[in-house]
Amino acid sequence: MVLVGSIISIIFIVIVAKLLLKKIYPHAVLLFSGIFMLCISYIFGFEMPFIEKSTNSGFFDLFEYVKVAFSETNAGVGLMIMAIGGFVAFIDKIGASDALVYLALKPLSFFKKYPYILASLVIPIGQFLFICIPSAAGLGLLLMASVFPIMVNLGVSRLSAVSVITACTAFGVGPASVITAKSSQIIGTDSVSHFFDSQIPLMLPLTLTLMIVFFIVNKYFDGKNSTPEIKHIEEKEIELKVPLIYAIIPILPLIILLLFSDVFNFFTTDVDVGTTTVMIFCVIVGLVFELIRTRDIKVVFQNLQLFFNGMGNIFKSVVTLIIAAEIFAKGLISLMFIEGLIDSSQSLGLGGVGISIVMALMIFMAAILMGSGNAAFFAFGPLVPKITGNLGISTTSMVLPMEYAASMGRTVSPISGVLLASSEIAKVSPFDIAKRNAIPFVCAIIVMLITHFI
């Protein structure tokens, strides 16, 4: 069954890749390929993904998976992405983004001569923020609201700017990370100890690798490509229409989330605010600013429509594609594609280090296919204790590179939430971002394996 399912999965992956390369509507390609794989799984008697409430009909259960994907995504990460997308549209229209750029241009004007150094410096800063705000799509969009316009106005091309912003979410580490929580449970330790003892020592050389390789790659591709989308955007005069105090609005969500994050927890209270809640609060703050400035309640209330319009645009372009990608991932899982990869690696008769390297590479590829580092790690991670028990190697030794491989794979996936959401705001193709990210993260994978095992 595993062999049959793996063969069918590979056939679907090849078909989907060809259709996507032909630029056929990706939402439909991923959705229908996922439904077809689920249908084949049901017909051939494979184990279907769990749904809490079945329709008691195998046929209608196929569409129940789609409904569940819509409801769960819209209630969770989908709503968060829409809220941030709406916030970005809102601050752009009221002039808050221009105020931030205007304020930041003078102290950062030194980097006009060295835009690629500026882009590379964003990576460690963003990774630090990602430890505190462990949502790839959430942080990516927050950086698109605050850092992206500054980089672009200092001479960084749109693709280069988006590539380093998405790279900031490449290491799903830290005590607040879902992957860290799961890996700590597998290893049998606490998240904080795992972060300081295991994750940080491996994170430092990988960060340096990404900074160097992104500097070279972005400079090379920007110089090679002559299309207006890739080339540096012509510098424009920022026409400031609002008071400079408006510059606080784009970075206010980051400040609030950092202050109340589990990592810092500056306050003794048990306040636990999520990204979506903070976005709504910051939109209200922006409306208050507008009310004080315009003293026109009609204009202020109309500005709220900017937020809702932004949410709608993100839903139709990004959230729906994330849902389609989730159905595609469910189809692969139902056909036992993951089990097939693991069985293949074990049948090669590799030693402990060999199996660990194969597992890291497989989870990297799975994250690219699924568009989710969490989904890939949760599929592979629980199998580690059994494998390490048979091979007599440390569980930590195998789990650690898998953690990094899962989150790095997501950053190279054109169907991941962070690439889709960021590309929509930057008006570039998620496939172009994935291509730009591919070389740095292949280099990072190689450095990780050498550093960790050799």
More confident residue, 178 or 411: 411
d(CA 279, CA 30): 30
pLDDT digits (tens, 9 = 90+) for 42-78: 888 888 877 778 888 878 888 888 888 888 777 777 8
**How far is the CA of 113 from the CAs of 109, 118, 158, in angstroms?**
8, 10, 17
Domain count, the chain: 1
Which of the residue ranges 252-261, 264-273, 445-454 would you say has the lowest mean pLDDT? 264-273
Enclosing domain of residue 277: 81-179+189-314
Across 147-156, 328-337, 339-348, the highest mean pLDDT is recorded for 147-156
Q: Judge whether residue 224 has pLDDT over 70.
A: yes
Read off the pLDDT of residues 72-114 as tens digits, 9 standing for 90 and up: 777 777 887 788 888 888 988 898 888 887 787 777 778 888 8
Answer whether residue 95 is part of any domain.
Answer: yes
What's the farthest any 2 CA atoms get from each other in the chain?
74
Residue 243 lies in a domain: yes
Structural domain includes residue 390: no
Is residue 329 one of the residues assigned to a domain? Answer: no
Does the pLDDT value for residue 29 go beyond 50? yes
Max mean pLDDT among 38-42, 124-128, 144-148, 161-165 falls in: 161-165
CA dihedral sign of residues 37, 39, 40, 44: positive
For residue 278, tell me if it sits in a domain: yes
Asked if residue 108 belongs to a domain, the reply is yes
Integer Cα distance of 88 and 314 in angstroms = 11
In a domain, 6, yes or no: no
Residue 429 located in a structural domain? no
Helix axes 158-167, 136-146, angle to 10 degrees: 140
Mean pLDDT of the chain: 84
